[in-house]
């Protein structure tokens, strides 16, 4: 492989997010979770056998089933709309009209290009226009959209769009700082770099409001 070909593999055109929505086929939910697990188990078995792995070994014989269940039930569980968290809102009776920030939300996602982990933190904020949402719902929304093959840019946008819909306001922002193991553990193998993405809606497009948000997430939290 030439240097040009290697570079193209790292940065190629297919590494560009093409849509705010996660690309899904129309028949994505025609099969049950159990059917998907059985099919994926066969595929994982084939991959491991092709690599020369002895699946009769006690340590390995359960791996195809474990991986299949993990894909469907855990790390890609956010593909299933039935698992979308309900996000009840409440009247802002205490008239809190300043910014609310939920910072350092843990992000565990999967890069859709190499199916390797994305691990980091999300910082989410909104300004109420009359309704508020439970704090844990913000974490759950991040977790739901993270649990699918992702591009970090899309994940950031999806979190903001969902909260805008739930809260009926454009005044929502999200910043994600994450490490991509497709960069850290393969290819360039840069273990120190991380990726930062941001999406600012409504009042957060104003420089002063955006700066206030950035100042809040710099605050150290210790107990």
Give the active site residues. Answer: 111-114, 152, 180, 182
Q: Which tokens hold the place of 158?
A: 């999806």
Which of 104-108's residues contact partners 24+ apart within 8 Å by CB, and which partners?
A: 104/221, 105/138, 105/139, 105/142, 107/142, 107/146, 107/155, 107/176, 107/178, 108/75, 108/143, 108/146, 108/147
Helices in the chain by DSSP H: which ranges? Answer: 3-11, 33-50, 63-69, 135-146, 152-167, 181-184, 207-218
């Amino acid at each position: 492989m030439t240097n040009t070909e290697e570079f193209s593999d790292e940065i190629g055109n297919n590494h560009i997010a093409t849509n705010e929505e996660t690309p899904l086929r129309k028949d994505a939910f025609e099969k049950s979770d159990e059917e998907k697990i059985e099919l994926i188990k066969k595929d994982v078995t084939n991959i491991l056998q092709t690599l020369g792995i002895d699946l009769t070994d006690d340590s390995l014989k359960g791996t195809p089933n474990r991986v299949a269940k993990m894909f469907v039930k855990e790390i890609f569980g956010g593909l299933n709309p039935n698992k979308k968290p309900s996000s009840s809102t409440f009247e802002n009776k205490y008239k809190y009209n300043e910014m609310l920030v939920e910072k350092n939300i843990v992000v565990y996602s999967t890069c859709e290009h190499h199916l390797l982990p994305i691990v980091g933190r999300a910082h989410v904020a909104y300004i109420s226009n009359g309704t508020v949402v439970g704090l844990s719902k913000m974490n759950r929304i991040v977790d739901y959209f993270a649990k699918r093959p992702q591009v970090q840019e899309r994940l950031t946008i999806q979190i903001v769009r969902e909260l805008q819909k739930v809260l009926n306001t454009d005044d929502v922002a999200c910043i994600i700082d994450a490490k991509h193991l497709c960069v850290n553990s393969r290819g360039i193998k840069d273990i120190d770099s991380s990726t930062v993405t941001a999406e600012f809606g409504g009042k957060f497009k104003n420089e002063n409001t955006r700066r206030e948000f950035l100042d809040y997430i710099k605050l150290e939290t210790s107990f």
